[in-house]
A = this chain, B = another copy of it.
Amino acid sequence: MAARVFTIDRLVAVATEMLEKVRVAPADADTCARRLVEGDARGQRAHGLSRLPAYVRRIEEGGLNPTANPHLISESPVTALVDGENGLGPVVMTYSTELASRKARQAGLAWIGVRGSNHPGAGGVYAQLLVDQNLIAIIGTVANVNQMAPWGGIERLLGPNPLSIGVPAGDEPDIVLDMATTTVSYGTVRRAIAAGRPLGMDWLMDSLGKPIVDPALADSGTLVPIGGHKGYGISMIIAALAGTLNGAAAGSDVVDHYQDLTTPTNTGHFLIVANPQMFRPLEDFLGEMDNKIHEIRASKPQDGVEAVRIPGEGSDSLRRSAEVSGIEMSEPALGELQALATHLKVSDLLDD
């Protein structure tokens, strides 16, 4: 079957139907479907609908609670600790994002800690939700597999713990940074190997700290943190603030969600959300952000580079285009969804 283009609504409807088949309540199924499809719309395919088969399988194996209702463990006007009850990550994160937004709009600032969550999809999706409300967002998550060693070490005790930061602008594109704390993900490594492309010198390292460039040795290495000891430090701090602070998994407690489908991952997040109006009038702030963003976008590019872009500009442009023109699903992606639809005995994407 060839690649095909679908509307966002169609993809959301099909994913919602699949999730309902594994006992997810309609409203939660819709929320989860929307967040994943937003990942695809932003071009973050590795954190979009491609995750749905793993979510469904984890529910079927008993490792994720489809009927969870995230609830508050404790709360103050500016902080909260959320228990996701081992529910779908996108549902838990949506609940936490809405809570953070409410508090930040009321009190000017909020820090939400989360435990008992699962893989949430793309962090940038939640940063964008907050930025769309003219809020500043800093979001960290403990990744569900340890692929990084401490700097100078060789044991896999840290994940590529992702960080997403959003800062709203006015007419210019918002800044939405969405990054892992490793130079690349294993997904990038595997795609390079599949395509016969060479591995980057700063992607993987061996037990001497030397680069691994032989594809056959890729799995024996660890992912390299950005900036060496700096990215190691950032990853360790995200593990502390998204994990340990909230009673969520970190370090050797992390459950490899690829290998173990039954143990709750106890995934942790933190969300720090601020209202810029606490510091200067909103219009002033957005206007000055526009000036600074414009200055960078209008600056001279390197020879051979078309234009200087800001973090999130590409994703934002893809998202806008997807709203108008739909999302192209590649042949393999479509095949996987089709197989899942068949397995779950639901109407599939190819039905009219």
Contacts and interface: CB of A to CB of B under 8 A. Distances in A.
Most buried by B among A165, A177, A245, A304: A245
Interface string A235-260: 01101110011110011100000000
A226 B229 contact: no
Q: Determine chain A's interface SS by DSSP, over half rule.
A: mixed
Nearest to A278: B79
Contacts of A198: none
A124 to B, nearest CB: 11
A296 interface: yes
Nearest to A136: B241
A322 interface: no
Interface stretch (A33-41, A42-50, A51-59, A108-116): A108-116
A251 B226 CA distance: 24
B239 A292 contact: yes
A116 to B, nearest CB: 14
B109 A236 contact: no
A296 B236 contact: yes
Interface in A192-239: 202, 207-209, 226-234, 236-237, 239
Contacts of A150: 296, 299, 308, 310
A138 to B, nearest CB: 8
Contacts of A11: none
Closest 4 CB pairs between A and B?
Answer: A226-B227, A233-B311, A177-B233, A153-B308
